[in-house]
């Protein structure tokens, strides 16, 4: 039911973009003022956690034709003390690279796939050695388009699979062009993954805001 609700949000946000004409490449640099990383066990496991942090990132999408594009993303998040134990201190670095296509050069709807790499490790002041790597993929459907000359909206929903965990990811965002070449944006991304053995749920939510260069 929650997945259907998220898909409804994507379609609702995409509706005003139907008059969009043309797709552009962009390069974004951004700050992550709020990121929450949590784990909830399904059974009486000896641990759970709920960490909050901040970070930064860079992402890009390049049109290789009127409909086909490639995209990439890197972001690094530094989490402070665990809200419950006051102990955990982790870094979470994420890499994404992939490609996709718009349904046409005059419509906002797109499909994309990507490789996802995750590196979870200690911060410099961490108390225990942690260095874990996860690899997987994501597939998404969404919309990216303009409402008027300056405002643009984006929304997507997809499936993410990472080394024994899998689930739904959705993103909603808004951008505003200050000039034809420079803009600002903000988005919210929620990734909700369940362990394959049903042992619990990982959730990662990021709020991101930054500067966009369009070309």
What pLDDT tens digit does each residue of the chain (215 aa) get? 555 555 555 555 555 554 454 688 999 999 999 999 988 887 755 566 788 999 999 999 999 999 999 999 999 999 876 555 554 567 899 999 999 999 998 889 999 999 999 998 765 554 555 678 999 999 999 999 888 889 999 999 999 999 989 999 999 999 999 999 999 999 999 999 998 877 788 899 999 999 999 99
Contact 190, 207 (CB under 8 A): no
Q: Two tokens at 50?
A: 């709920």
Q: Is 142 exposed, middle or buried (0-12, 13-18, 19+ CB in 10 A)?
A: buried
CATH 2.40.128.90 fits 2-214, yes or no: yes
Can you tell me the distance from the alpha carbon of 98 to that of 112, in angstroms, rounded to the nearest whole number?
Answer: 7
The pLDDT of residue 45? 58
The pLDDT of residue 197? 76
The helix (run of H) or strand (run of E) holding residue 49 is strand 49-63
Q: How many helices (H) and strands (E) does the chain have?
A: 1, 10
pTM of the model: 0.85
The pLDDT of residue 19? 45
Look at residue 207 and give its three-state secondary structure: strand
The pLDDT of residue 85? 52
């Amino acid at each position: 039911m929650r997945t259907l609700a998220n898909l409804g949000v994507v379609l609702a946000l995409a509706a005003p973009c139907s008059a969009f004409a043309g797709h552009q490449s962009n390069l974004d640099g951004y700050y992550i003022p709020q990121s929450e990383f949590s784990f909830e066990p399904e059974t009486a496991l000896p641990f759970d956690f709920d960490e909050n942090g901040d970070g930064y990132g860079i992402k890009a999408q390049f049109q290789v034709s009127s409909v086909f594009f490639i995209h990439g993303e890197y972001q690094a998040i530094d989490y402070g003390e665990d809200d419950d134990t006051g102990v955990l201190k982790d870094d979470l670095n994420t890499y994404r690279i992939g490609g996709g296509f718009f349904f046409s050069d005059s419509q906002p709807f797109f499909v994309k796939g990507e490789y996802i790499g995750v590196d979870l490790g200690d911060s410099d002041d961490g108390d225990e050695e942690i260095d874990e790597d996860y690899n997987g993929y994501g597939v998404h459907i969404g919309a990216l388009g303009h409402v008027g000359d300056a405002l643009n909206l984006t929304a997507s929903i997809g499936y993410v699979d990472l080394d024994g965990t899998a689930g739904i990811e959705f993103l909603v965002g808004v951008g505003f062009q200050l000039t034809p070449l420079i803009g600002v944006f903000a988005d919210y991304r929620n990734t909700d993954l369940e362990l394959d053995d049903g042992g619990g749920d990982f959730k990662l939510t990021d709020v991101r805001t930054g500067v966009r260069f369009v070309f």
